[in-house]
């Protein structure tokens, strides 16, 4: 494929960043410019010679600007095949002229949907029709036409023209076409998502079908293991708190495993409004606690299992002040710390260890978004489910033992119930004073998970609350806890062995409540 000389360019952009400077450079190279509406005015007001699409087509813009570029002279000018005799003859007979460069970006549909005050009429009006049509036409005919869809590509485009006598080479046009088709696919996916899921509604019901649009944000050093390739992509249209919107203040680049662990960390942080801290390894909590402030919360969370905390991910849901920073700084080998913000002094101290990554995400303070869908890739498809965001309140408790829980035990069970939800199943969490003291997770046997939790808790199991993510089918799991000193138990209930579990709790004078809700996390 030969280089393509740019003689005529159509410019029609919603995002006008850099467009005047770009147009001025094109004009200086002798490129004829045509444009529409606001773009035409912006460029013309800058003293650059440009003609209107209406002048080019001989047809006025109509229907309040809805129909401007949907005209044979536009699309024939873009789509005709240079060098093909039949196409050339038809263009000549109809007095049509070629368009060699199409510079178009689209109406801000996604941005309009995201605005709280946007109604359906405004959103519909921001569905671009002519723009995607021109982009697709130019991208299809990239053998002869160059298409530019974002201001970031103005520089590379001008570089091509200056180095190639106002021409572009085929490889450049092919890359531009690839980006163009990705843009229109993403745009159509966003429109489809709006029509399927709507705006400001509970989207927890799985739709019959939808398109996922992913934007590559970064190439990662490697995947779970060094021999695996990995990248991270942003799900277009997602408006909830996301690591993709966080800011990394210090430390080396994040790895695949860092992102996985940090996402589990963020998920926990969003469940708490009071000062809270969590310590995670391999997407599992090894410590979690609330406190009067984040320093106290972190101290309690770390003391849950200092051995497992080595090489951990730490999350805090309030600003990290100097008091908390001193504790964090003294913690051996921390991979990452995620918080809404760091005080200036705290940041200066914590950034001293170059291997420690510091991330901020303001949206932690906003809590969880309603109606999120969770996607899990399996070979050839996805499992899709609504988020496990059900909130359990004391009114939901069904006390099944002879002894009623005290107010302190109710508070502790609510805390432990939140933590066990984020722990890989089979999961048992022992907690005391709103802090974990022993966690057993990821076991094929609930009994083994109980043994692990009790072993890690040691003497701290005395007077602790035991939380189980699923029911106890037999009394042995209850007995492991009560033999270690557990006095309160929270679990879903619903097993054929419930009566035996209740009997075991009564025998130990423990209180036990059923929630009717299971929290498996595989």
Q: Which long-range contacts does 446-452 make (Cβ < 8 Å, 24+ apart)? A: 446/470, 446/472, 446/473, 446/477, 447/476, 447/477, 447/480, 450/477, 450/480, 450/481, 451/480, 452/428
CB 100 within 8 Å of CB 142? no
Rounded to whole angstroms, how far apart are CA atoms 307 and 295?
19
Residues near 253 by beta carbon (within 8 Å), at least 6 away in sequence: 218, 220, 221
The sign of the torsion formed by the CA atoms of 380, 385, 387, 390 equals negative
Residues near 496 by beta carbon (within 8 Å), at least 6 away in sequence: 473
Strands across the sheet containing 146-148: 51-52, 32-35, 8-12, 101-104, 146-148
71 is an active site residue: no
Rounded to whole angstroms, how far apart are CA atoms 50 and 411?
70
C-alpha closest to that of 106 among 175, 184, 217: 184
Catalytic residue among 71, 140, 199, 411: 140
- Say how many C-beta atoms besides its own lie within 10 A of residue 93's C-beta: 8
Catalytic residue among 7, 71, 234, 282: 282
Q: Which two tokens stand for residue 140?
A: 């299809």
Alpha helices by DSSP H, listed for 198-291, are: 256-269
Q: At what angle do helices 170-197 and 130-140 cross, to 10 degrees?
A: 140
140 is an active site residue: yes
Rounded to whole angstroms, how far apart are CA atoms 147 and 480?
68
CB 302 within 8 Å of CB 310? no
Catalytic (active-site) positions: 140, 282
């Amino acid at each position: 494929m030969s280089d393509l000389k740019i003689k005529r360019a159509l410019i029609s952009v919603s995002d006008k960043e850099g467009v005047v400077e770009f147009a001025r450079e094109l004009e200086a190279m002798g490129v004829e410019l045509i444009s529409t509406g606001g773009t035409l005015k912006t460029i013309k007001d800058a003293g650059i010679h440009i003609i209107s699409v209406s002048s080019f087509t001989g047809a006025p813009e109509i229907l309040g600007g809805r129909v401007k570029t949907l005209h044979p002279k536009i699309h024939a000018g873009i789509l005709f095949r240079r060098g093909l005799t039949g196409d050339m003859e038809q263009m000549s007979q109809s007095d049509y002229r070629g368009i060699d460069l199409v510079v178009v970006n689209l109406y801000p549909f996604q941005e309009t949907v995201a605005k709280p005050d946007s109604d359906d009429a405004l959103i519909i009006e921001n569905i671009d029709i002519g723009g995607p049509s021109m982009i697709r036409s130019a991208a299809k005919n990239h053998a002869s036409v160059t298409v530019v869809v974002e201001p970031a590509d103005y520089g590379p485009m001008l570089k091509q023209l200056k180095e190639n006598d106002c021409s572009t080479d085929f490889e450049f046009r092919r890359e531009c076409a690839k980006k163009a088709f990705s843009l229109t696919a993403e745009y159509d996916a966003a429109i489809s998502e709006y029509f399927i899921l709507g705006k400001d509604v509970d989207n927890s019901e799985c739709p019959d079908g939808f398109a996922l649009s992913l934007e590559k944000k970064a190439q990662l050093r490697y995947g779970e293991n060094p021999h695996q390739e990995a990248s991270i992509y942003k799900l277009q249209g997602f408006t909830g708190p996301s690591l993709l919107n966080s800011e990394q203040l210090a430390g080396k680049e994040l790895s695949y495993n860092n992102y996985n662990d940090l996402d589990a960390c963020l998920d926990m942080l969003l469940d708490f409004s009071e000062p809270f801290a969590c310590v995670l390894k391999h997407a599992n909590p090894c410590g979690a606690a609330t406190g009067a402030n984040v320093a106290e919360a972190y101290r309690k969370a770390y003391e849950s299992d200092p051995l497992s905390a080595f090489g951990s991910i730490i999350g805090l849901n309030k600003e990290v002040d100097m008091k908390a920073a001193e504790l964090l700084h003294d913690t051996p080998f921390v991979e990452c710390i995620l918080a809404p913000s760091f005080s200036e002094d705290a940041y200066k101290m914590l950034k001293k260890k170059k291997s420690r990554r510091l991330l901020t995400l303001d949206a932690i303070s906003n809590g969880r978004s309603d109606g999120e869908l969770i996607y899990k890739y399996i070979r050839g498809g996805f499992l899709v489910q609504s988020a496990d965001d059900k909130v359990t309140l004391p009114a939901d408790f069904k006390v099944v033992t002879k002894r009623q829980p005290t107010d302190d035990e109710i508070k502790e069970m609510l805390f432990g119930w939140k933590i066990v939800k984020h722990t890989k199943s089979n999961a048992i969490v022992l907690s005391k004073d709103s802090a974990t003291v022993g966690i057993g997770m990821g076991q094929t046997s609930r009994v083994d998970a109980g043994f692990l939790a009790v072993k890690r808790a040691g003497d701290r199991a005395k007077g602790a609350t035991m939380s189980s993510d699923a029911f106890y089918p037999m009394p042995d799991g209850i007995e492991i806890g009560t033999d270690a000193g557990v006095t309160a138990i929270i679990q879903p209930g619903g097993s054929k062995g419930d009566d035996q579990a209740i009997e075991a709790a009564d025998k130990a004078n423990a209180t036990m409540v059923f929630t009717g809700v299971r929290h498996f996390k595989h």
